[in-house]
Amino acid sequence: MTQSFFPPHRVLMGPGPSDVSPRVLGALGRPTIGHLDPLFVNLMDDVKGLLQYAFQTDNALTLPISAPGSAGMEACFVNLVSPGDTVIVCRNGVFGGRMQENVERCGATAIMVEDDWGQPVSLDKVAAAFSAHPEASLLAFVHAETSTGARSDVAALCALARKHGALSIVDSVTGLGGIELQVDAWGADAVYSGTQKCLSCIPGLSPVTFSPRAVERIQNRSHKVQSWFLDMQLVMGYWGGSSKRAYHHTAPINLLYALHEALLMLREEGLEAAHARHRLHHQALVAGLGALGLEMAVAAEHRLPQLNAVRIPEGIDDTRLRQTLLQDFNLEIGAGLGALAGKTWRIGLMGQACNRSNVILCLTALSTALQQQGLATDTGAALVAADAVLQA
């Protein structure tokens, strides 16, 4: 007979979900009200305003899609791509490949710009792709590659797209809240994110924002959006600013309570302070990992502070080590994804998970687990190195 499920308390330092604050879990579990209740409609407006702050945008079309990040990605593509279009897609990790799938399923052509995994997107290659394909109407790339831990230059890439008369789609699933993202100042046209990364909310929603230029393209489509659920003209009617909302689907009420609380916490801390916290603890973690003799997989200048890709030392059993962390320390770190499976670990320092205790726990647990597999490490040295950064 199946029983009620009582999860253990894990420390979530993988690629997401990240640690969720008790404040957010508390909000999540509050009584459900109707999705057309005037109080809920007010909450939707608040969430919109808080998301505009997080995205640093005045875009009116800023809201959470009622499904995970993959659906947010799809919402951007199905609304901005029409059959026959040419889209330049940058692939420097798993998620560029997923973008290609989206473009092709829209009946459009994806021109792939390839960079090595762990490298940022190359501006020169993108410029060359635009020269070779002046008909391209869209540039799509990943801000913070969750599969590799590399950061790309959103401002420069969006400027390139504009220069060539194209719109931009930016995947910032892992970026939002952890590193700088200036949607308006950088001229990004469509950005999607997730709630379970640096916002430290539970998974299940995908914040998106569309520039006025993107909205104009959506409104001028001659071909209906292939997804009814993700058709932004319909979603707009539900989330729109007017007092009269058109029923589209039932919003996942309690998830919105949780997102609202997580966004409040971000605003209370302030974006710049949150970014600084991510940088600082990242530096501390890197110092500690170095003292353990571990190597980072991404060059320092391209590293995401919130997602640290670490090379697995020769002779270490990846699966066994992560099992030790989970079973003996209730600590989750991420495995490598795609081409990096078995070669790297992905250690997240996302949102609420980005704190001193977690850095200490992670270094201690890793060191212990490596020792169990015969590697000589110095736990004390790692903790001293990390704390030196934090005290500086």
Site for its own copies in 179-198 (CB under 8 A): 194, 196
Interface pick for its own copies out of 41, 56, 60, 104 (rule CB under 8 A): 104
Contact indicator for 57, 184 with CB cutoff of 8 Å: yes
C-beta of 71 vs 385, nearer to its own copies = 71
Report the nearest approach of its own copies to the CB of residue 283 (Å).
25
C-beta of 43 vs 154, nearer to its own copies = 43
C-beta of 83 vs 212, nearer to its own copies = 83
Q: Which stretch binds its own copies (CB under 8 A): 114-122, 129-137, 261-269, 289-297?
A: 261-269
Report the nearest approach of its own copies to the CB of residue 249 (Å).
4
Report the nearest approach of its own copies to the CB of residue 38 (Å).
8
| Cis? peptide before 22, omega within 30° of 0 | no
Cα–chain-centroid distance for residue 330? 23
Q: Which stretch binds its own copies (CB under 8 A): 132-140, 211-219, 247-255, 286-294?
A: 247-255
Site for its own copies in 320-349 (CB under 8 A): 326, 332, 335, 337
Interface pick for its own copies out of 98, 143, 217, 281 (rule CB under 8 A): 98
Contact indicator for 127, 157 with CB cutoff of 8 Å: no
d(CA 175, CA 184) in angstroms, rounded, equals 16
Interface pick for its own copies out of 212, 233, 247, 273 (rule CB under 8 A): 247
Report the nearest approach of its own copies to the CB of residue 36 (Å).
8
Report the nearest approach of its own copies to the CB of residue 115 (Å).
22
Sequence-ordered alpha helix ranges (H) in the chain: 22-28, 38-55, 69-80, 94-105, 123-132, 154-163, 183-186, 212-219, 232-239, 253-269, 271-291, 318-329, 356-372, 379-391
Q: Which long-range contacts (CB under 8 A, 24 or more apart) does 293-299 make?
A: 293/375, 293/377, 294/366, 297/118, 297/148, 297/149, 297/340, 297/343, 297/344, 298/118, 298/148, 298/149, 298/150, 299/118
C-beta of 243 vs 391, nearer to its own copies = 243
Binding-residue total with its own copies (CB under 8 A): 79
Residues near 91 by beta carbon (within 8 Å), at least 6 away in sequence: 97, 99, 100, 112, 113, 114, 115
Residues near 217 by beta carbon (within 8 Å), at least 6 away in sequence: 80, 167
What is the spatial order of strands in the sheet that 344-348 belongs to?
Answer: 11-13, 331-335, 344-348, 307-311
Q: Which stretch binds its own copies (CB under 8 A): 131-139, 256-264, 304-312, 358-366?
A: 256-264
Q: Give me the 344-373 binding string for its own copies, x by CB under 8 A, dash otherwise.
A: ------------------------------
Report the nearest approach of its own copies to the CB of residue 274 (Å).
17
What the block records as the tokens of 346 is 């992905």
Report the nearest approach of its own copies to the CB of residue 300 (Å).
28
Phi-psi region of 10 (alpha: psi -120 to 50; beta: other; left: phi over 0): beta
How many CA atoms are closer than 13 Å to the CA of 317, on its beta-carbon side?
Answer: 11
Interface pick for its own copies out of 54, 71, 76, 284 (rule CB under 8 A): 71
Contact indicator for 232, 61 with CB cutoff of 8 Å: yes
d(CA 214, CA 235) in angstroms, rounded, equals 15
Interface pick for its own copies out of 41, 60, 101, 355 (rule CB under 8 A): 101
Regarding 2 and contact with its own copies (CB under 8 A), the answer is yes
Around Cβ 363, how many Cβ atoms within 10 Å? 27
Q: Give me the 205-244 binding string for its own copies, x by CB under 8 A, dash otherwise.
A: -------------------xxxxxx---------------
Regarding 148 and contact with its own copies (CB under 8 A), the answer is no
Report the nearest approach of its own copies to the CB of residue 78 (Å).
8
Regarding 85 and contact with its own copies (CB under 8 A), the answer is no
Interface pick for its own copies out of 63, 87, 106, 366 (rule CB under 8 A): 106
Report the nearest approach of its own copies to the CB of residue 349 (Å).
15
Report the nearest approach of its own copies to the CB of residue 1 (Å).
9
C-beta of 74 vs 85, nearer to its own copies = 74
